[in-house]
Structure 1
Amino acid sequence: MSSADLFKKFTLQNVAQIANSSHKEQMQVRHDLAEHYPQLADFWEDIMPRKSDIMLVRCHDQVHCVTLVNAQPEVLFFNHHNGPYIPHLKLLHKYPFILQRHQVDVGACKHVLSGANIMCPGLTSKGGYITPEIPAGQLVAVYVETKEHAVAIGKTLMSSEEIKKVNSGPCIENIHHVGDGLWMNRVLSASHIGAR
């Protein structure tokens, strides 16, 4: 399954296991996140307080979600096949500087929100914006012109320069977007799963 299809039909039925993590696992997750998101150094205590326990939620298709052990364990980050941790969109909305951004024109909005990959013309047309010097294979926030918050998180399939030069075909793989299954099922706890 490609990353683009991960959360298209994600429901609580996709959750395989919810369990408190061992101290070693928690330390590893915190280390991996701090290494991958150094720009959050001053905010970790707000996002994942040191005294809070982390819960790893294992889902089908090799998806792991990171939540805190509390009454409303909201997904903060997730990964696929043990790849890098990706922030949940709601966390990105709170800390928009986590990821660099590309912007699509307003006409591309409905396609992005349906889970489609982002096409070059959506970025190169009037209303679109390409942040310079982003390489292929990097996570980016996808914004829509006139909108304040990111509507998707994707992985670049081309560099910024290639997007401008090629100006055809898909250039960002849409991994997580507003309205997808992870957006709609952000709270993952045993009580919520038991109620499915």
Structure 2
Amino acid sequence: MPTSADLFKKFTLESVAQIATSKLKDQKEVRSKLADEYPMLADFWEELLPKGEDILIIRCHDQVHCIARQSSKPEVLFFNHHGGFYYPHLRLLHKYPFILKSHQVDIGGCRFVVSGANIMCQGLTSAGGRIQDNMDEDDLVAIYIEGKDHAVAVGKMMMSSDDIREKNKGPCIENVHHMGDGLWINYQLSASHIGGGASAIRPEDAAK
């Protein structure tokens, strides 16, 4: 079974197994879960997922589920793995950078981060790095690079902020989704892909 860091290395549109418009009950559950996990988006849900429009559940290989607003070219907004916490797609994070706390990696670590490597403690504790206080293991985090304006990756804390400073050795953040990976490239589905490239599923099966 792949780890989160392996999910999108080879992700293509062929990785999409099934797409469905969920039942109203299931849509409410998705909206409720997202609202609980991202309370800072309370004033923006009508822009992202209007109540009058359906939500697409995009089921991919390796137990990845993506959420998109139904349209002729739906764009992935959030995704999760094995039904866990929803991560924002990086393109969404660029529009709403306040939804995740962030760490900064020194410029020397840039090529490693955008290649999918996990973030090392030394990349945050060096002169060009920055550590966000009061973060715990398993928290989601945005990864920035020294001198860059936008996040280049989304990850999950493998240890707390205090432990990063204290241990200053080894990997400290799991790199889940980064610029240039398969999900970054294939963030949008076409109408033809929905119609033929993935098999439709019944609404009653969407939440399974």
Q: So what's the TM-score if we normalise by structure 2?
A: 0.92
- Within a 5 Å distance, the mapping from 1:30-49 to structure 2 comes to 30-49=31-50
In the alignment, structure 1 residue 173 sits paired with structure 2 residue 174: yes
Partner Cα separation in structure 2 for residue 25 and residue 148 of structure 1: 36
SS at match of 2:155: strand
Matched, 1:75 2:76: yes
Within 2, Cα distance between the matches of 1:189 and 1:76? Answer: 15
CA distance in structure 1 between the partners assigned to 2:193 and 2:178 by the alignment = 22
Runs of 4+ aligned structure 1 residues displaced above 2 Å come to 192-196
Is structure 2 residue 138 aligned with structure 1 residue 137? yes
C-alpha separation in 1, matches of 2:137 and 2:33: 21
Question: Contact between 2:48 and 2:69, CA under 8 Å: does it hold in 1?
Answer: no
TM-score, L = length of structure 1? 0.97
In structure 2, what is the Cα distance between the partners aligned to 1:76 and 1:2? 21
Task: State the percentage of identical aligned residues.
Answer: 63
Measured in 1, the distance between the counterparts of 2:150 and 2:109 equals 15
- The corresponding residue for 1:185 is 186
| Alpha-carbon distance in structure 1 between the residues aligned to 2:38 and 2:102 | 15
User: Would the aligned equivalents of 1:18 and 1:189 in 2 still touch at CA under 8 Å?
Assistant: no
* SS of match in other structure, 1:92: helix
Quick one: distance in 2 between partners of 1:12 and 1:47? 22
Give the Å deviation of 1:188.
Answer: 2.6
Gaps of 5+ in 1: none
Task: Quote the RMSD (CA, aligned, Å).
Answer: 1.2
How many Å separate the matches in 2 of 1:98 and 1:190? 30
Counterpart Cα distance in 2 of 1:108 and 1:192 = 36
Alpha-carbon offset, residue 14 of structure 1: 0.8
Does the 8 A contact of 1:18 with 1:190 survive in 2?
no
Aligned to 2:202: none
The SS at the match of 2:172 is strand
Structure 2 CA distance for aligned equivalents of residues 5 and 69 of structure 1 = 27
Where do 5+ consecutive residues of structure 2 fail to align?
199-208
Partner of 1:91: 92
Contact 1:89 1:183 (8 Å CA) reproduced: yes
Distance 2:77 2:192 in 1: 18
Quick one: distance in 2 between partners of 1:148 and 1:192?
Answer: 33
Give the equivalent residue in structure 2 for 1:14: 15
